[in-house]
Amino acid sequence: MKNVAVIGAGSMGTAVSILLAGNGHVVKMWTPFKEEVDMINTYREQKQKLPGAKIPETVTCTASLQEALEGCGLIALVVPSHTVRQSARSISKYINGSQIIACFSKGIEEDTFLRMSEIINQEIPSARVVAMSGPCHAEELAFGIPSAYVAASLDMEAAEFVQDVLMSLTFRVYTNPDVVGVELGGAVKNVIALCAGISDGLGFGDNTKAALMTRGIREMSRLGVAMGARPETFAGLSGIGDLIVTCTSMHSRNRRAGILIGKGKPMEEAVSEVKMVVEGITTTKAAYKLAKKLNISMPIVEEAYRVLFEGKDPRQAVNELMMRDKKCEM
C-alpha cells in the first residue's frame, strides 16, 4: 500500500484516484476549488466532470497542497498542460524533491516548446519524473473498462515503480525509455483529433478521417524524430493508440470542439460549449511554431493553426490540403 497524492480533481484526476484506491492505495486528491472538495468528500462523486463514478472512502479531497503531499511516496500530476509549470512550482515548496512524479498532463508549453517532464524538472530539478500517456478516456477508466497506458522515463526504476502502483486487471501499464516520443505523441495527437472533429462537422466521412489520421501520425513522427524520438514509438500506445481513441470517440473533448468548429462555430464558442479544457488548441499553436523553428513539414498542423487562429474557412483548408503538390507516400 502506498500513500499517493493526486494533484487535480477533474475527470482524469478522479479516474486515476479511483484506480489507485482500487489497487489498495491511500489517495489524497487536491483541487484549489472548495466546492469540488466538498462535493467529492460529501457525495463521493465528481458530479460535474465524471458523474456516476463512485469514489472509494480511501480517497479524500483537500484544498491544501501541504496536506495532500504530506507523507506521499508518489505524486500523480493530473492538471491541464498550461498549469503544469505553476503546479510544479507550488508542489516544490512542500516536498524534498526526490519523490516520483507521474505526469498525466499532455501538451507543449507555447513559449518555450518544453514538454511537460522538462517543465517539471526545471521547477523541481531533483524530481524523478515519469511521463504518462496512452489511449485512455477517464469516462472508461473510472468504470473499470480495460485500458492500456505507457510510463516513460529515462529512470527505469521510477517507471517500473509507477507501473507496479497502477497496474490492475483493468489497467495495463508498459514502460518506455523514449520520453520525447511518448510525450510528443500524447500532445500532438490532440491537434489531429481537433481536425478529425472538424472533418466530422463538415460532414465528411470515414475515408477522410482515415486519411487524416494516417497522415497525422506521419506528421507526429516527423516532428518527434527531429526532436530525438524513436520513430517506432509513434506506432505504439502513445502514438497511433492515443490518436485512434481521440479521433474517433465522443468522449474526446478535442474531437467535440472540432465538430462544433466544423459546423461553423467560432473557436471560443466551441470551447465554451464543450465546458472542459481543449488541450489541442494550445498545442496547435505550439506545434505550429515548433515546426517552423525546426523547418519540419506539418501541413495538417499548419492548416489547423490557420483555421483556429487566423479565421480560415475549414473547408478551404481541406481543399488546400487535398491539392498540395503531388508526392510519394514517404
Phi, psi of 262 (to 5 degrees): -65, -30
Cα 283 vs. chain centroid, distance in angstroms?
Answer: 10
Active-site annotation, residues: 189
Beta strand extents in the chain (DSSP E only): 3-7, 26-30, 45-46, 50-54, 59-62, 74-77, 100-103, 128-133, 147-152, 171-176
Helix (H, G, I), strand (E, B) or coil at 164: helix
Residue with cell 479524500: 60
Residue 191, helix vs strand vs coil: helix
**Closest alpha carbon to 129 in 93, 92, 172:** 92
The residues, ordered by sequence, that sit 6+ positions from 314 with a Cβ below 8 Å of its Cβ are: 198, 201, 202, 261, 262, 307
DSSP states of 245-278: HHHH-TT-HHHHHHHHHHTT--HHHHHHHHTS--
Report yes or no: 237 and 148 within 8 Å, Cβ to Cβ.
yes
Three-class DSSP labels, 34-62: HHHHHHHHHHCEECCCEEEEECCCCEEEE
Query: How far apart are alpha carbons 73 and 212 in whole angstroms?
Result: 42
Distance (Å, whole) CA 78 – CA 90 = 14
